[in-house]
Chain A
Amino acid sequence: GAGVSQSPRYKVTKRGQDVALRCDPISGHVSLYWYRQALGQGPEFLTYFNYEAQQDKSGLPNDRFSAERPEGSISTLTIQRTEQRDSAMYRCASSSVTDTQYFGPGTRLTVL
């Protein structure tokens, strides 16, 4: 596709529910990144993949957060047992190896 796409664009869920956020990177991009952006803050790194291998998950806040990229293309960020503090914009980016990261439009998650 022309750019990074993310779905859904908006997600409202109740506390305690699980959510899955999807990222479809630019075709052919090796690396895929997940960031979280709270209101009034810059994006904060969560995790990234090269192909299907998760290279760094040091930014995942706790074990309720997980990510996968099983075929080296589409990635899913899953949050289990959501809490209100998980409300944020979740951004995905992709890049060629060690090149510029291109960001998707984000998924706005609201946990009630």
Chain B
Amino acid sequence: AQSVTQLGSHVSVSEGALVLLRCNYSSSVPPYLFWYVQYPNQGLQLLLKYTSAATLVKGINGFEAEFKKSETSFHLTKPSAHMSDAAEYFCAVRGNRDDKIIFGKGTRLHILP
């Protein structure tokens, strides 16, 4: 079975500062891992995904995430936050033999001017 834990339901960072959103996963099989973003009044958009090809995954809008098997983590980072990054971010996991995605509860990112 798969599960995801996102640490912190709300995270605030200053514009230009590092963004770090934490995600830990549990999976009985090698996982597929995802980060999705949800802007206000919009649908879910895929930021990036890990499918075992490389442990450091680069996504859209300058975000990246690193798969660390020893820590069962898949934290999302961005070197310099922009006001437009304010949104809700969801970490998700999918087992390689099970097509359904299990989502975390989400982290709302606030950007301070």
Binding between chains A and B: yes
B31 within 8 A of A: no
**Known contacts A48-B100, A59-B100; is-contact A42 B43 (Cβ 8 Å):** no
Out of B42, B100, B104, name the residue touching A42 (CB < 8 Å): B104
Interface size class of A (residues with CB under 8 A): 20 to 34
Residue of A35, A44, A55, A103 with most chain B CB atoms under a 10 A cut-off = A103
* Interface residue? B18 (CB, 8 A): no
**Total A-B contacts with CB atoms under 8 angstroms apart:** 51
Most buried by A among B44, B49, B98: B44
A-facing residues in B39-59 (Cβ within 8 Å): 42-46, 49
Residues 65-113 of B contacting A (Cβ, < 8 Å): 90, 92, 98-106
Q: Please give me the residue from chain B that is nearest to A50 by CB atom.
A: B99
Whether B103 pairs with A48 at a CB distance below 8 angstroms is: no
Closest CB of chain A to B23's CB: distance in Å?
A: 11
| A interface: dominant SS | strand
**Inter-subunit contact A41/B105 (CB<8 Å):** yes
- Which chain A residues border B105 with CB–CB below 8 Å? 40-42
| Interface presence of A110 (CB below 8 A) | no
- Kindly identify which residue among B9, B43, B92 contacts A106, using a CB–CB cutoff of 8 Å: B43
Point out the residues of chain B lying under 8 angstroms from A45, CB to CB.
Answer: 100-102
**Which residues of A come within 8 Å of B, CB atoms?**
31, 33, 35, 40-45, 48, 55-56, 59, 91, 93, 95, 98, 100-106
> Which B positions have Cβ atoms within 8 angstroms of A?
9, 34, 36, 42-46, 49, 90, 92, 98-106
12 further A-B contacts with Cβ under 8 Å, apart from A40-B106, A43-B101, A103-B36, are: A35-B101, A42-B105, A45-B101, A48-B100, A56-B98, A59-B100, A91-B44, A98-B99, A101-B101, A103-B43, A105-B43, A106-B43
